[in-house]
C-alpha cells in the first residue's frame, strides 16, 4: 500500500437532531441513560401500550434523569457516545417514549477538515446513520441521534453501539444536494445492490454549473483503505470483464453535459475469496469524473475478496 490522503474530511452539514455546538477537545466520563419523558410515560424497557392520538396528548419533556448501565462500543475513531436517554423528542416537541436517544461527540485529530459518517445500533431498535461535518482540526462537534422500536416489541437493553465510523476530507465530500460545488458538477453514489457475492453501485454525475461539461470514457478511480492509504494491486477494468449487468452496451465515448443534464456510471465487483490471505476490504473510493477533475471520495465499502478486480462502466447520459 502507498500513502494517499491522511487528511481530515467531513461530509457537508451536521445532519443531526439537536446538534451543532463546537468546542475544543473531548471530555471524559461514562455513558448513562436518562429519561426524556415525564414519569407517567412508559419507562425505558417497558412496552408502550398505545401510540398518543395527537401531539397535544403526548407526554412532553423534561423528565427526571435516571442512571442506567453504561453502553458498550461507545468510543471509536474519534466518535464517542456521551449519554443515552430513554425516549426521544420529535419535531413537535412531543416525547416519544418508545424510542432511544444517544448524544455523541465527534473529535477531529487530523490536519484537515473532515466529514464523518457514523452508524449507530441498539439491540431492539432501528439503527441510525448521521453525517457530521465539516469538523475542523482539533475541534469537537456534538450531536444527537434517535432510534425507535416497533410498538409491542420489548427493548433489548440500554446498549448503544458504534457500528462504523468513516471520515473523508470535507473538500472531497459528495454533494447530492445543496449549493453547486465550485467545480460545477456533482458526483455521488447510490446504495449498493448486493446479490450472490456480486456488488453493484451506481455513480452519478450532474452538471449543476453554468457551462457545458465534457467527459470521455470512464471515471478515474482510486481505492482507499480504512487508514486512508491507497490500495495498489487491484485491476480496474471495464465492467463487462467483471460481470454482465445488462442494459445498454458499455461503450466508452465522448459525452458533453449541458447545464442541468446528468450522466450515469457504476462500479461492480465480486466478493469472492479464493485464498487464505490477500482479501481486500477498503471503505473508500476516490472518484474523478474525468482526468484532472477535482476528486470526490465515496464510501461504497469495497469487499473485493481475493479477486483483485473492480469493474467500472463508461459514463452515459441519464434521461
Q: Which domains does the chain have, with CATH numbers?
A: 2-170 (no CATH), 185-318 (2.60.40)
Of the listed ranges 80-89, 230-239, 272-281, the least confidently predicted one is 272-281
Strands (E) across 44-197 are located at: 75-76, 79-89, 95-107, 114-122, 128-135, 139-148, 160-169, 185-189, 193-195
Instruction: Return phi, psi of residue 96, to 5°.
Output: -100, 105
Helix (H, G, I), strand (E, B) or coil at 104: strand
Burial 295-307 (b: 16+ CB within 10 A, else e): bbbbbbbbbbbeb
Give the rounded distance of the alpha carbon of 317 from its chain centre: 27
**pLDDT over 60 (residue 60):** no
Name the band, by pLDDT with cuts 50, 70 and 90, for residue 273: confident
pLDDT for 34: 53
pLDDT for 98: 74
Give the rounded distance of the alpha carbon of 80 from its chain centre: 16
Of the listed ranges 84-88, 111-115, 201-205, 223-227, the least confidently predicted one is 84-88
pLDDT for 272: 82
Rounded CA separation 86/141 (Å): 22
pLDDT for 319: 80
User: Are the C-beta atoms of residues 152 and 127 closer than 8 Å to each other?
Assistant: no
Q: How confident is the model over 211-246, as pLDDT tens digits? A: 999 999 999 999 999 999 999 999 999 999 998 887
Rounded CA separation 175/212 (Å): 19
Q: What is the mean pLDDT of residues 202-209?
A: 96
Rounded CA separation 231/162 (Å): 25
**pLDDT over 70 (residue 57):** no
In the chain, the percentage of residues whose pLDDT exceeds 70 is 73
Q: How far apart are the first and last CA of the chain?
A: 39
Of the listed ranges 155-169, 228-242, 282-296, the least confidently predicted one is 155-169
User: Are the C-beta atoms of residues 86 and 125 closer than 8 Å to each other?
Assistant: no
**pLDDT over 60 (residue 142):** yes
Name the band, by pLDDT with cuts 50, 70 and 90, for residue 155: low
Rounded CA separation 212/258 (Å): 5
pLDDT for 303: 92
User: Are the C-beta atoms of residues 310 and 201 closer than 8 Å to each other?
Assistant: no
pLDDT for 191: 80
Rounded CA separation 280/225 (Å): 9
Burial 129-154 (b: 16+ CB within 10 A, else e): ebbbbbbbeebbbbbbbbbebeeeee
Name the band, by pLDDT with cuts 50, 70 and 90, for residue 131: very high
Task: Give me the residue label for grid cell 446479490.
Answer: 195
- 91 burial via Cβ count (<10 Å: 0-12, 13-18, 19+): exposed
Instruction: Return phi, psi of residue 225, to 5°.
Output: -90, -175
pLDDT for 95: 73
- pLDDT top residue among 122 and 168: 168
> What is the rounded average pLDDT for all residues in the chain?
78
Amino acid at each position: 500500500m502507498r500513502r494517499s490522503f491522511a487528511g481530515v474530511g467531513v461530509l457537508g452539514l451536521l445532519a443531526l437532531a439537536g446538534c451543532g455546538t463546537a468546542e475544543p477537545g473531548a471530555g471524559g466520563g461514562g455513558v448513562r441513560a436518562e429519561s426524556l419523558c415525564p414519569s407517567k410515560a412508559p419507562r425505558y424497557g417497558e412496552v408502550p401500550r398505545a401510540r398518543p392520538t395527537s401531539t397535544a396528548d403526548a407526554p412532553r419533556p423534561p423528565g427526571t434523569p435516571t442512571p442506567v448501565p453504561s453502553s458498550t462500543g461507545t468510543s471509536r475513531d474519534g466518535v464517542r457516545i456521551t449519554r443515552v436517554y430513554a425516549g426521544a423528542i420529535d419535531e413537535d416537541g412531543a416525547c416519544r417514549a418508545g424510542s432511544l436517544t444517544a448524544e455523541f461527540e465527534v473529535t477531529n485529530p487530523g490536519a484537515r477538515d473532515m466529514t464523518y459518517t457514523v452508524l449507530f445500533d441498539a439491540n431492539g431498535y432501528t439503527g441510525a446513520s448521521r453525517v457530521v461535518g465539516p469538523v475542523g482540526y482539533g475541534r469537537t462537534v456534538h450531536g444527537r441521534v434517535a432510534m425507535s422500536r416497533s410498538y409491542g416489541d420489548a427493548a433489548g437493553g440500554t446498549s448503544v453501539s458504534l457500528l462504523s465510523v468513516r471520515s473523508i476530507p470535507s473538500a472531497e465530500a459528495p454533494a447530492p444536494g445543496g449549493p453547486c460545488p465550485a467545480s460545477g458538477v456533482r458526483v455521488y453514489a447510490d446504495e449498493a445492490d448486493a446479490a450472490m457475492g456480486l456488488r453493484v453501485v451506481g455513480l452519478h454525475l450532474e452538471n449543476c454549473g453554468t457551462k457545458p461539461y465534457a467527459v470521455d470514457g470512464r471515471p478515474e478511480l482510486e481505492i482507499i483503505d480504512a487508514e486512508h492509504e491507497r490500495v495498489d494491486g487491484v485491476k480496474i477494468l471495464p465492467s463487462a470483464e467483471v460481470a454482465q449487468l445488462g442494459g445498454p452496451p458499455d461503450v466508452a465515448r465522448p459525452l458533453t453535459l449541458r447545464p442541468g443534464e446528468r450522466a450515469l456510471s457504476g462500479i461492480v465487483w465480486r466478493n469472492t475469496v479464493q485464498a487464505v490471505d490477500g482479501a481486500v476490504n477498503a471503505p473508500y473510493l476516490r472518484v474523478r469524473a474525468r482526468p484532472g477533475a477535482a476528486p470526490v471520495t465515496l464510501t461504497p465499502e469495497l469487499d473485493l475478496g481475493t479477486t483483485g478486480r473492480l469493474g467500472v462502466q463508461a459514463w452515459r447520459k441519464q434521461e
